[in-house]
Amino acid sequence: MPFREILNRLLTPGERVSWEACLARSGRDFPKAADIVREGEKPQALYVVLAGWAQKYKQLPDGRRQIVGLFLPGQICGLDLFTVARCDHSLAAVRQLSVAEIPRAEVCDLLQRCPSLARIFCWSELVETAVHREWMASVGQRNALERVAHLMCEMAVRQGGHRTNNRCDFLLTQGQIAEATGLTPVHVNRTIRELRRCCGMELRQRRLHIPRFDALASIACFDARYLHIGEAGTVADHARPLFDAWSSDGVPSPILHHT
């Protein structure tokens, strides 16, 4: 995801120092599958993934789960801290996870001292929403082969693996792939074997290898434009007049307005 790109594009040097200092003193580790936030709890903090992957999920009363989002290093999660009284989803570690846990009061202080962060938070939320739309299209319209192939392509592009020897981290188990794609673990296993046969995709020791990325992308009907990679500068320039207008008019940031 382009969060780091837009962070570098928009933050002033002073704001970057404040942001990085906040991350450094707010670190917290979670073991595999541990919940960071549980559905129904009152939001208390903003989370920034430092290492590992986090998963956003919904769980039914009978224990069935649907993974509805994945957060990679550098990404933020928990912006509903400012908008809802109770969380409507859970957030958990995929495997060993390190996050910066920033309490509400400190986030508000950061937004006052680093006004560019409001733009970055909005940008992050807009890209996450675009990913959610694509996941809905996968579950609603793509077949099993297309769904799994699309997830593999997305995770590779989000990590730049399609440009670096077609290799990247892939921390999900087959059961978690099933929870992310709306399939059964048995169906996922068969699908992965078929993708290995038709385009050489290998998933081994938490690493994904896609020797023929174009072939996998063709199967998935994958178009990476929804990830908005490389667009941070353009979008930042488009957004700047709006946020500058809010600032000059004395109108508080829409994020701060919900505190």
Res 254: pLDDT: 44
Using alpha carbons, select from 71, 211, 201, 226 the residue that is nearest to residue 149. Answer: 201
Residues, the chain: 259
Res 238: pLDDT: 61
Q: Is the pLDDT of residue 59 over 60?
A: yes
Q: How many Cβ atoms are within 10 Å of 85's Cβ, its own excluded?
A: 7
Res 239: pLDDT: 56
Q: Is the pLDDT of residue 251 over 50?
A: no
H helices present in 160-231, as ranges = 174-181, 185-199, 213-220
- pLDDT tens string 136-158: 999 999 999 999 999 999 999 99
Q: How many Cβ atoms are within 10 Å of 255's Cβ, its own excluded?
A: 20
Verdict on whether the full-model pTM lies above 0.85: yes
The confidence band for 244, taking pLDDT boundaries of 50, 70 and 90, is low
Residue ranges and CATH numbers for the domains of the chain are 1-130 (2.60.120.10)
Longest alpha-carbon distance in the chain: 60
Residue whose pair of structure tokens reads 């998963």 in the numeric block: 55
DSSP assignment of 149-161 equals HHHHHHHHHHTTT
- pLDDT tens string 195-222: 999 999 999 999 999 999 999 999 999 9
What is the Cα Rg of the chain in Å? 19
Using alpha carbons, select from 151, 176, 116 the residue that is nearest to residue 227. Answer: 151
Element (H, E) at 93: strand 90-93
- pLDDT tens string 224-240: 999 988 776 665 566 56
